[in-house]
Amino acid sequence: MSGTPLEEMELVERAKAGDAACFASLVRLYQDRVYSVAYRVLASAEDAADTAQETFLAAWEGLARFRGDSSLYTWLYRIAVNKALARRRSRASKGRFVAGSADGSLDGVADFADGPQVAVERAENARIVQAAISALPEDLRVIVVLRDIEGLEYEEIAEVLEIPLGTVKSRLHRGRLDLRESLKGVFRVAP
């Protein structure tokens, strides 16, 4: 895993010194990753946007403690995952959460390159996959999201979640096996 690039470090330093414009550049740099992970954990665009915003505000507040030992994005991922899980727990305790009630039905719809039929099927698949991810236990879901959607290395996941590498491996595998069970019907007919 690479450390934080120099240019980015400079943005961080300047943001630390109170330069909001530099911080905004960092936000633009990482907003998609932060939003995406929140979205996949929460399966709600609205909650994901709120969570992503919370993440960056918390990052701004905590920037003084970011020393560049780890990558900025693993640090951001950590905040985002924690915020998303906290939100999800609070939502679940209010009874609002319904597994799989993702508004992710638009996933992939824009891609009509293979024709509308395929696009619709993909969107439908995306919805089902998201629902299956949402149905995973929290500790497995986060790891699957970080690995198979966000593309983090095992070591990075261990750093984000502050758990041992062995735990990352076992949870990822369990998560994938669970998903495989729920998705059997999908990939047999997947386009």
Partner 1 sequence: MECEKTKDLLSEYIDGRLPVDEAAAIAAHLEDCRGCREVERELRATISLVARLAGKEAPEGFAEGVSAALERRMLLEPPPVGARRWRWAAWSFGGISAAAAAVVLAILIVHGPREGRLEHQVQTDTGIQVALREKRADEFSRIRIPTDAPPDVELRGDGIAEAPAEYDDRLAARHDDMRERLEKSEVADHLMDPGRQPDRDRYAALASAPPVIADSIDEPADILAYKAAEGLQRVLREAADISESPDGPAAGEAVERDTPAPMDDAWIDKQLTLAPPEALPGQEPQPVQMEFYSEQSALLSTAVFANNFLAPESRVTRAESTPETLTARLEGLSFQVLELSDERAVLHGRLEPVRILLNNFLLVEVSGLTQSGETPEEIVSQVDAETLDMVQRHHPVALGEPMHVQYIFVRRSAKEPAAPQDVE
Which pair of tokens denotes residue 102? 């993702």
Spatial contact of 33 and 150, defined as CB atoms under 8 Å apart: yes
Cβ proximity to partner 1: between 9 and 49 the closer is 49
Euclidean distance between CA atoms 142 and 124, whole angstroms: 22
Does the footprint of partner 1 cover residue 34 (CB under 8 A)?
yes
Residue 54 corresponds to which tokens in the numbers above? 């919370």
Residue 190 interacts with partner 1 (CB under 8 A): yes or no: yes
Report how far apart, in Å, the C-alpha atoms of 169 and of each of 78, 128, 145, 149, 173 are.
18, 25, 13, 16, 6
Q: How far apart are CA 5 and CA 7, in angstroms?
A: 6
Residue list 72-131, contact with partner 1 (CB under 8 A): 78-79, 82-83, 86-87, 89-90, 93-94, 104, 107-108, 122, 125-126, 129-130
Contact residues for partner 1, defined by CB under 8 A? 15-18, 20, 23-24, 27-28, 31-32, 34-36, 39-40, 45, 49, 52-54, 56-65, 78-79, 82-83, 86-87, 89-90, 93-94, 104, 107-108, 122, 125-126, 129-130, 133, 144, 148-151, 154, 169, 172-173, 176-177, 179-180, 183-184, 186-187, 190
